[in-house]
Amino acid sequence: MPIEIASKNPIVKSIVEGVAPMPARLAAAKGLLPLPQADLLEVLAFLAKSDDAQLSSTANKTLDNQDSNQLLNILELAETAPAILSHFAEKRDLPKEIYQRVIANPNTPDNSIIRIARQTKDGEVLELLTLNQQRLIRVPAIIDAILSNNFRTVEADRRATETKREFFEKERGAQQIANELRAQGQEAAAEFVEKADFADKLDQPNSLSLEDALLIAKHIEIPDSEIDDSWLSLEYIEEFYEESPEEREAIVHKIIGEIKFEDDDVSNERISAISRILKMGMKDRVKLAMKGDREARNILIRDPNRVVCQAVIQNPRITEQEVEKIAAMRTVPDDVLRQIAINRTWARNYMIMHTLAKNPRTPMGNVVSILTRLQLRDLLALTKNRNVSDAVRKQALRLVTARTGNK
């Protein structure tokens, strides 16, 4: 496993990696090298765990003799190396002020926080650990360590127990799931779950389970602030309707069939994801199409409802490679192909336009405009392409004749 060195100082790197000569490493272990204090402490923290007994013993003694005020100042800096914070987190019976700085520093590794929670004999330190609820939710092992520590105070026990019950034991509804996602830094996913139509129906018959909601949320990557839904005119909104379980099951089979046609090796996980997503109502599928990741887009572009498909190409993270693939599909609605054809950005991509011209579902009005921009060899190929309509072949032939002068 590679060593993670925070300092950019080449001297630090050479000592930590064992490249520097032994006298230099021994001088570093004694704290005699002329390095900035933060760099010196990082070197000492690494040397304190050295396999060389002399280096390890010397470095530990040097660390034990650090000026307390100077040490406290470094421990509270946001850029302090994790190795330094880990060293002092793992030492027993240090002054409370040191543990307080280590706990408060976001650079402190989670394993070091767990170690403090397990070994401290100071109930106030345990109370301090319980104040960072986001970290407790992200690393539930900290909660278990606090609750197994016999020196915990009543207050520390209460906070840890309440957090555990609220986020890991209590029957969770949509808001609890959203809170958990937000605590993990997944704001876009939390927004989606909070505002979804399924939020009030979780675990009801023919609805999503709590596990379904969490797994769908993992596909969300775009926050509300990046979404533009102005394209959703009344014409589209009127097409929102509730499908029956049988209709949704038919859609699942349709999408699975299309994906299997492209890739014979479709995993059970993907099939499960398709089924899960199709349990959602149309409004939620439209939101997922606009906010979801590549996998969500790949599934929902195959939705038989044109509003859902339109939402996919409105997704701000969709790539030109995805658009080119969609342009070749013969199952997407005409509206989607028309929107791709008139999009200014995609219109500059020759491969997308060429693919649209070859797709028999692309509206003729758009194809006529695209043909004028195609290269001669591609126009010639279209004149012989039996998959496109007669009208497209004839128009391609007219353009070939006009460019070559042939009659």
Per-residue pLDDT of the chain (407 residues), as tens digits, is: 456 888 899 999 999 998 999 999 999 999 999 999 999 999 999 999 999 999 999 999 999 999 999 999 999 999 999 999 999 998 988 899 999 999 999 999 999 999 999 999 999 999 999 999 989 999 999 999 999 999 999 999 999 998 887 777 655 678 888 888 888 889 999 999 989 988 888 877 777 888 888 899 999 999 999 998 888 876 777 777 778 888 888 998 899 888 888 877 778 888 888 989 988 989 999 999 999 999 999 999 999 999 999 999 999 999 999 999 999 999 999 999 999 999 999 999 999 999 999 999 999 999 999 999 999 999 999 999 999 999 999 999 999 999 887 65
Residue 326 lies in a domain: no
Looking at residue 334, its pLDDT comes to 92
Q: In this predicted structure, what is the pLDDT of residue 171? A: 53
Say if 2 falls within a structural domain.
Answer: no
Q: Are residues 75 and 209 in the same domain?
A: no
- List the domain range (segments joined by +) for residue 210: 185-318
Does residue 3 fall inside a structural domain?
no
Of the candidates 307, 284, 311, 283, the one whose C-alpha atom is nearest the C-alpha of residue 297 is 311
Asked, for residue 177, whether it belongs to a domain, the answer is no
For residue 154, the SS3 value is helix
Helix (H, G, I), strand (E, B) or coil at 53: helix
- Residues 198, 153: Cα–Cα separation, whole Å: 41
Is 127:153 a contact under the CB 8 Å cutoff?
Answer: yes
Are residues 361 and 295 part of one domain? no
Are both 155 and 21 inside the same structural domain?
Answer: yes
Residue 1 confidence (pLDDT): 41
Work out how many domains the chain is built from and give that number.
3
* Cα 59-8-42 angle, rounded to 5 deg: 20
Check if the beta carbon of residue 309 is closer than 8 Å to that of residue 300. yes
Assign 193 to helix, strand or coil.
Answer: helix
Residue 53 forms part of a structural domain: yes
Amino acid at 19: V
**Are 44 and 156 in the same domain?**
yes
Taking the C-alpha atoms of residue 45 and residue 50, their distance in angstroms, rounded to an integer, is: 9
Task: Check whether residue 191 and residue 264 sit in a common domain.
Answer: yes
Domain boundary among 113, 138, 169: 169
Task: Answer yes or no: do 293 and 388 share one domain.
Answer: no
Please identify, among 137, 169, 201, the residue that sits at the C-terminal boundary of a domain.
169
Residue 139 is given by DSSP the state: -
Q: 258, 285, 318 — which closes off a domain?
A: 318
In a shared domain, residues 189 and 138: no
* Shared domain check, 300 and 267: yes
Listed residue (206, 203, 182) closest to 194, CA to CA: 182
Shared domain for 133 and 279, answered yes or no, is: no
The continuous run of DSSP H or E covering 378 comes out as: helix 376-383
Confirm whether 26 is domain-assigned: yes
Query: Is the overall model pTM greater than 0.85, yes or no?
Result: no
CA distance 88 to 120: 12
Yes or no: say if 157 and 167 are a contact pair by the CB < 8 Å rule.
no
Which residues are CB-neighbours of 255 under 8 A, at least 6 positions away? 274, 278, 299, 302, 303
Token digits for 183? 């605590």
Contact 36, 13 (CB under 8 A): no
- Residues near 49 by Cβ (< 8 Å), separated by ≥ 6? 56
Helices (H), 7-148: 10-16, 22-29, 37-47, 53-64, 68-75, 82-90, 96-104, 110-119, 123-131, 133-138, 140-147
Residue 325 covered by a domain: no
Q: Check whether residue 159 and residue 208 sit in a common domain.
A: no
Q: Are residues 29 and 156 in the same domain?
A: yes
What pLDDT, on the 0 to 100 scale, is given for residue 203? 74
Rama region for 338: left / alpha / beta (φ>0; ψ in -120 to 50; rest): alpha
User: Does residue 79 sit within a domain?
Assistant: yes
What pLDDT is recorded for position 3? Answer: 67
Q: Are residues 251 and 298 in the same domain?
A: yes
